[in-house]
Amino acid sequence: MRALILEEPGRISMRSVETPEPGPGELLLRVVAATTCGTDLKAYRRGHPQIPMPGGFGHEYSGVVAAAGDDAPFSVGDEIMGVHSAPCMQCEWCLRGQENLCETIMATKVLGSFAEYLLIPERVAKLNVFAKPGSLPFEVASLLEPLSCVAQGLALTPVRADTKALVIGPGAIGLMFVAALHKSGVSDVSIAGRNPARLEIGRRLGATPLPFESLGSEPRYDLVIECTGAVEVWESSLALVRRGGALVLFGGCAAGTVARFDTRKLHYDQINVLSPFHFGVGAVRQAREWLLDPTFDLRPLLSGDRELEEAAQVFADLAGGEGVKYVFRP
């Protein structure tokens, strides 16, 4: 089969590799749609601890079951959608309902969706793969994984209809937060950033677009969600939160980064600070419910279809701020 291989940071190759055979409980997926994400871009630019090199690339997917191992939960021909990991449901964190912190959640994961076929391990197939309704386009179904991360963050940050929210960073995750906040009943949502095209997508999703430079330092928001992963934005975001509000630090900063905050404001304004990681089983199911709702439309995030052979240009475009998420159709 044809597969994109991340050889090293900045270098992708197309290889012909052996098509995997599913073992007991496993699924072999014929990939119909695989979308790019910010983690892919990070790995391409500087490497990633969870993405071995050289190795398969991509982890957002949907498609049709091409082969199934014994006792697998789906059959050949089924259209499915899923995420790239699943918790063990037995460790201390899983038993506490914190499956996102499972000790082995990344030990068995799906990698290599930028290929004609994708092997889905038994643990993932059993817990976090679902039937895809015919009414849901494959490319939208492939957004289940990043949307699950958003659902995890909002599950830990209760919102109300009168919440005044600000999302900083109009990348794919920031734009999904806008859509999810609206779906959760929040009508007053703003999105700030420097990319006019992406801010326009935020407007189409119902947010008020703001130039990043206009934010200032006045505490005007009940909820601020940071999605840039820049430490200086982490630090400055606190000033924008009202007393009793919440600051969600979603964007991951580079390893070894240290942030500084105004401890007086944190304490006396009683700011709830959260930095959500990954997702638990409840978040995946919430994300799936959102995607199945025809009024929840994430298609504005999709910047077009690309061939696997165009991968280098795709990631160059993303690095330059062009597009949000591209769709490979292997």
- CA distances to 90, 150, 247 from 98, rounded to whole Å, are 11, 16, 20
- The domain spanning residue 64 has which CATH number? 3.90.180.10
d(CA 87, CA 105): 5
- Mean pLDDT throughout 82-94? 97
What pLDDT score does 49 carry? 78
Average pLDDT over residues 178-199: 97
Q: pLDDT band at 82, cuts 50/70/90?
A: very high
- Which of 274, 290, 306 is the last residue in one of the domains? 274
Q: At what angle do helices 144-155 and 281-292 cross, to 10 degrees?
A: 120
Q: How far apart are CA 65 and CA 68, in angstroms?
A: 7
Answer yes or no: do 142 and 170 share one domain.
no
152 part of a folded domain = no
What pLDDT shows up at residue 89? 96
Query: 116-151 in b/e burial notation, b at 16+ Cβ within 10 A?
Result: bbbbbbbbbbbbbbbebeeebebbbbbbbbbbbbbb
User: Which residues constitute the domain of residue 226?
Assistant: 157-274
Whether 268 and 290 map to the same domain: the answer is: no
Angle at 66 between CA 60 and CA 70, to 5 degrees: 105
User: How much is the average pLDDT of 25-47?
Assistant: 93
User: Do 13 and 137 share a domain, yes or no?
Assistant: yes
Query: What is the CATH number for 227?
Result: 3.40.50.720
pLDDT in tens, 224-259: 999 999 999 999 999 999 999 999 999 988 889 999
DSSP-assigned states of every residue in 237-260 = HGGGEEEEEEEEE-SPPPTT----
Say yes or no to pLDDT of 127 above 90. Answer: yes
Report the predicted TM-score, pTM, of the whole model to 2 decimal places.
0.96
pLDDT at 142: 98
The reply to whether 211 and 70 lie within a common domain is: no
Determine contact, residues 183/296, Cβ cutoff 8 Å: yes
Residue 189 falls inside a structural domain: yes
Both 132 and 30 in a single domain?
A: yes
Q: Is residue 234 part of a domain?
A: yes
151 domain residue, yes or no: no
Task: Inform me whether the pLDDT recorded for 329 exceeds 90.
Answer: yes
Residue 30 inside a domain? The answer is yes
Q: How far apart are CA 28 and CA 36, in angstroms?
A: 20
* 8 Å CB contact between 213 and 193: no
CB atoms within 10 A of CB 43: 23
96 and 217 within one domain = no
Give pLDDT tens digits for 2-25. 999 999 998 999 999 999 999 999
Same domain, 84 and 41: yes
Confirm whether 79 is domain-assigned.
yes
Tell me whether residue 120 is in a domain.
yes
9 and 139, same domain (yes or no):
yes
- Asked if 136 and 178 sit in the same domain, the reply is no
Cα separations in angstroms, 126 against 82, 144, 281, 301 = 10, 16, 12, 29
In the DSSP assignment, the letter for residue 149 is: H
Are residues 14 and 68 located together in one domain of the fold? Answer: yes
| Cβ proximity of 202 and 177 under 8 Å | no
Whether 43 has a pLDDT exceeding 90, the answer reads no
Residues 7, 140 within the same domain: yes
Residues 246, 274: contact at Cβ < 8 Å? yes
Number of domains in the chain: 2
Q: Is residue 317 part of a domain?
A: yes
Given a contact cutoff of 8 angstroms between Cβ atoms, the answer to whether 14 and 309 are in contact is yes
Q: Are residue 198 and residue 56 in the same domain, yes or no?
A: no
